Amino acid sequence: MALHCGRACRQYLLHLAHDNVDFRLPEIKALLSLRDRPFDTSETFNEKSPFWQLNGLSEDDIRSVMSRTVCGKSAFELWGHGTTTDELRMSLLEYPAEKMAPYLQNNSTYKINVYTFNKTLVFKDRIEKIDALDFLPFKGTVNLKDPEHIFCLLEDYGSDPYDIPEEPFHMYFGRWIADGQRELIRSYSVKKRHFIGNTSMDAGLSFFMANHAKVKADDLVYDPFVGTGSLLVACSRFGAYVCGTDIDYNTIHGV
């Protein structure tokens, strides 16, 4: 299965967290619109899938999205994909060698990760899958601790935990570009705050809202029903000036 986009284009793969599924599409669209970039997907796009193939973007566009997204786990420059091992191999062999070359030099270091969605593989199986990629022209040295380049084989085994197939429905291979901002959900968790109320918004939802609203540096955000300030915390993290009011004096005083 070839990439079907010509030799001049690049295709990117987003690996998304499989929670708050309905919020993922508006977040990615909003973050792309901040750069005036289109949301152009492959013909097989499935909104509910944790893997999205995006077209018509630059690596800078992808890095910009990943610097803010809380639904995105990682992003990759997609080198090949397929529904079978043979299709993946054919797709990788068709990827332009000149695009691979900068990352496969003799003096470079690299590692290959294997990620499986909805299935756990033992270490031996992961190594076998990496060894099966020996047809790729890697010339550098493997460095598992601090490599210059990271590559990933991602396998999708569907979303039904009670009916996991022996073989994946789809496989992807690409060069890692950036991780998303999932750590914001943990670092700004309401559990870590000095004061919360009965309706304090979850940190993840707060960042979703800030991204959906396209809040950016030097924006002014006013929340008339601020409560304990969850939304303003997220907006200020993205560089906005924030202020708010609330009818409950005790809540405001506590914050």
d(CA 76, CA 180): 11
Distance (Å, rounded) from C-alpha 225 to C-alpha 232?
Answer: 11
Instruction: For residue 212, report the phi and psi dihedrals to the nearest 5 degrees.
Output: -60, -35
Identify which of 76, 71, 74 has the alpha carbon closest to the alpha carbon of residue 212: 71
Q: What percent of the chain has pLDDT over 70?
A: 93
Nearest to 243 by CA among 216, 228, 224, 230: 224
Task: With beta carbons less than 8 A apart as the criterion, state whether 185 and 205 touch.
Answer: no
Residue ranges of domains in the chain, CATH in brackets: 12-180 (3.30.2130.30), 184-254 (3.40.50.150)
pLDDT > 90? residue 43: no
Residue 218 is predicted with a pLDDT of 97
Q: 200: which DSSP letter?
A: P
Whole-number pLDDT of residue 198: 67
pLDDT of residue 194: 73
Question: β-pairing, 241-244 with 141-142?
Answer: unpaired
- What's the pLDDT tens digit per position in 65-116? 999 999 999 999 999 999 999 999 999 999 999 999 999 999 999 999 999 9
| Structural contact between residues 163 and 118, judged by C-beta atoms closer than 8 angstroms | no
- The band of 254, judged by pLDDT with boundaries at 50, 70 and 90, is low
Q: What percentage of the chain carries pLDDT values higher than 90?
A: 83
Average pLDDT over residues 226-245: 93
Per residue in 156-193, pLDDT tens?
A: 999 999 999 999 999 999 999 999 999 999 999 888 87
Predicted local distance difference test score (pLDDT) of residue 4: 43
Average pLDDT (41-55) is: 92
Asked if 202 contacts 65 with a C-beta cutoff of 8 angstroms, the reply is no
Question: Which pLDDT value is given to residue 192?
Answer: 82
Contact 66, 75 (CB under 8 A): yes
Is the pLDDT score of 1 beyond 60? no
Look over the chain and give the mean of its residue pLDDT values, rounded to a whole number.
92
What is the per-residue pLDDT for 248?
82
Number of other CB atoms surrounding residue 88 within 10 Å: 24
pLDDT of residue 2: 42
Strands 220-223 and 241-244, how do they pair?
parallel
* Confidence (pLDDT) at 76: 98
